Amino acid sequence: MFEETVLLWIAAGGYVLAALMALAGFKRPALTHIALWILGSALLIHAISIGMRWGRLEHGPYVNLHEILSSNVWSLNAIAFVGATVSALLRRALGSVLGVLQVLTLWLLVTPVTDSALPVTYNTPWLPVHITLGKIFLGLTVIAVGLSIAVLLRRFAKARLQYLPDTDIVEEAAYRLILVAVLFESLMLVAGAAWARDAWGRYWAWDPLETWAFATWMSVIAYIHWRSVRKPRPEHSAIAIIGVFVLAFLTFFGIPFLSAAPHKGAI
């Protein structure tokens, strides 16, 4: 357990360093490449730490707050890493994406590391499918939020963000990410419903987590229609994306720990 935690701290240090480098990369794009190398290494180290814990507890990192934060910090950084590797635009915006993610890194570091036991009804093949789809949804949304923050920062720091393409293009990229995200979110809901039916004999029961996930889905749909039909200003679209993210964030990291329903998402 000691080794796991040490590796986790090293990885967390890597994430923070990568974020700082990527932010500096707004001014000197070459630094973004270094940020990507550091990020890749941190992901590897973190993966080893998660793998050790998985082996020791014999279940994946999705039961208590520490595990959920840790696995999300990993998956969100991994999605940001892949995005920045395949897309020049996302590489240039990496600073603001990683900047957002440091909130989670800090939260992870102040959360006590405790062991957990897999609850009954978690022993189903739908669980990893559901969780993976959810993580991809959140990852794409976080990148869209990073782009949205860049759109908003443009108003104050135009010179610093000169290497980013046109605001319209950054915003459109964010919108497209949300379109792909809604597909994954919908699939996540379908897989979740399949799991619920498998585990409890009902596919939807408006428990707190399901309710909040539904509200998040509705907010994304409202956003998509508004954006695609009303063509709002990029700044307004950016604010709406951040709003959707706040709801998604509460659903993922708030509700599981407040609710006592059988479908806790966590516990």
Contact flag: residue 219 with other proteins (CB under 8 A): yes
Q: What share of the chain is helix, strand, coil (3-state, %, to 5)?
A: 75, 0, 25
132: three-class secondary structure by DSSP: helix
Contact flag: residue 190 with ligand HEM (CB under 6 A): no
Contact flag: residue 190 with other proteins (CB under 8 A): yes
Stretch that binds ligand HEM, among 95-103, 208-216, 220-228, 236-244 (CB under 6 A): 220-228
Report the distance separating Cα 30 and Cα 105, nearest Å. 24
Total residues at the site for ligand HEM (CB under 6 A)? 7
Please list, in sequence order, all residues whose beta carbon lies within 8 angstroms of the beta carbon of residue 143, skipping any fewer than 6 positions away.
Answer: 79, 80, 83, 90, 93, 97, 177
Residue placing its CB nearer to ligand HEM in the complex, 8 or 182: 182
Q: How many CA atoms lie within 13 A of 33 on its CB side?
A: 3
Stretch that binds ligand HEM, among 42-50, 106-114, 224-232, 257-265 (CB under 6 A): 224-232
Distance of closest approach, residue 174 Cβ to ligand HEM, in angstroms: 13
Report the distance separating Cα 98 and Cα 103, nearest Å. 9
Contact flag: residue 202 with ligand HEM (CB under 6 A): no
Residue placing its CB nearer to ligand HEM in the complex, 163 or 214: 214
Contact flag: residue 168 with other proteins (CB under 8 A): yes
Stretch that binds ligand HEM, among 71-79, 116-124, 221-229, 230-238 (CB under 6 A): 221-229
Contact flag: residue 221 with ligand HEM (CB under 6 A): yes
24 binds, among ligand HEM, other proteins, none (CB under 5 to 8 A by kind): none
13: three-class secondary structure by DSSP: helix
146: three-class secondary structure by DSSP: helix
Type of residue found at 40: G
CA dihedral 38, 39, 41, 42 (to 10 degrees): 110
Residue linked to tokens 């890749």: 40
Site for other proteins in 62-121 (CB under 8 A): 87-90, 117, 120-121
Distance of closest approach, residue 112 Cβ to ligand HEM, in angstroms: 39
Token representation of residue 206: 């408006």
Please list, in sequence order, all residues whose beta carbon lies within 8 angstroms of the beta carbon of residue 239, skipping any fewer than 6 positions away.
Answer: 148, 152
Burial class from Cβ neighbours inside 10 Å (0-12, 13-18, 19+) for residue 189 reads buried
Contact flag: residue 180 with other proteins (CB under 8 A): yes
Interacting residues with other proteins (CB under 8 A): 87-90, 117, 120-121, 123-124, 165-166, 168-169, 172-173, 176, 179-180, 182-183, 186-187, 190, 194, 197-203, 205-208, 211-212, 214-219, 221-222, 225-226, 229-230, 247
